[in-house]
């Protein structure tokens, strides 16, 4: 059985690369999680998890991460990625992720609406929403990436 994460942070960055994979990798590096192994998870923040903006994760670690990303090779195209954490006073939180061909402001509005809907569906009171988003205008081959890495 895996331990339950106790810490998290929100991050959103963008980058260019010579290939789709290197654009993604460069965005991960800028987002402070380029030297770890992401294990993609769905959208529940453990009840005990606390925000730690300065969290340093050891290189090579397997890191549960909810994330959204988009890669484009259309010069001049605007792409964005966003994550949001919805917090409840009662128990666990909800993480949502989004990416698309839109502005950062549009991505932020979409992600907030997603969190509100998730709480409405669960019939849980929403106390607070934390958001990280990024917008990228593609030069040649770009990636927009947003994530909530979880840690122990």
Q: Is 43 a catalytic residue?
A: yes
CB-based contacts of 120: which residues, under 8 Å, 6+ apart? none
**Of the residues 35, 37, 77, 120, which is catalytic?**
37
Identify which of 112, 123, 114 has the alpha carbon closest to the alpha carbon of residue 88.
Answer: 123
If you search the block for the tokens 């770009």, which residue do you land on? 142
Question: One of 13, 97, 108, 135 is an active-site residue; which one?
Answer: 97
The closest of 11, 14, 13 to 143, measured between CA atoms, is 14
Choose the catalytic residue: 42, 53, 89, 123: 42
Residue bearing tokens 């040649």: 140
Run of H or E including 27 = helix 20-30
Given 14, 43, 69, 72, which residue is catalytic? 43
Note the Cα 123 to chain centre separation in Å: 24
Query: Is 97 a known active-site residue?
Result: yes
Q: Are 88 and 44 in contact (CB under 8 A)?
A: no
Catalytic residue set? 37, 42-43, 97
């Amino acid at each position: 059985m895996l331990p339950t994460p106790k810490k998290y942070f929100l991050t959103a960055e963008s980058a260019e690369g010579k290939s789709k994979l290197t654009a993604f990798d460069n965005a991960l590096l800028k987002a402070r999680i380029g030297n770890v192994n992401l294990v993609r998870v769905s959208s529940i923040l453990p009840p005990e998890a606390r925000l730690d903006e300065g969290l340093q994760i050891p290189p090579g670690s397997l890191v549960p991460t909810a994330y959204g990303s988009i890669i484009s090779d259309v010069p001049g195209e605007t792409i964005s990625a966003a994550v949001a954490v919805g917090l409840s006073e009662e128990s666990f939180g909800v993480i949502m992720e989004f990416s698309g061909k839109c502005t950062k402001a549009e991505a932020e509005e979409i992600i907030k609406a997603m969190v509100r809907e998730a709480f409405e569906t669960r019939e849980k009171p929403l106390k607070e929403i934390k958001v990280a988003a990024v917008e990228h205008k593609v030069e040649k081959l770009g990636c927009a990436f947003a994530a909530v890495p979880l840690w122990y």
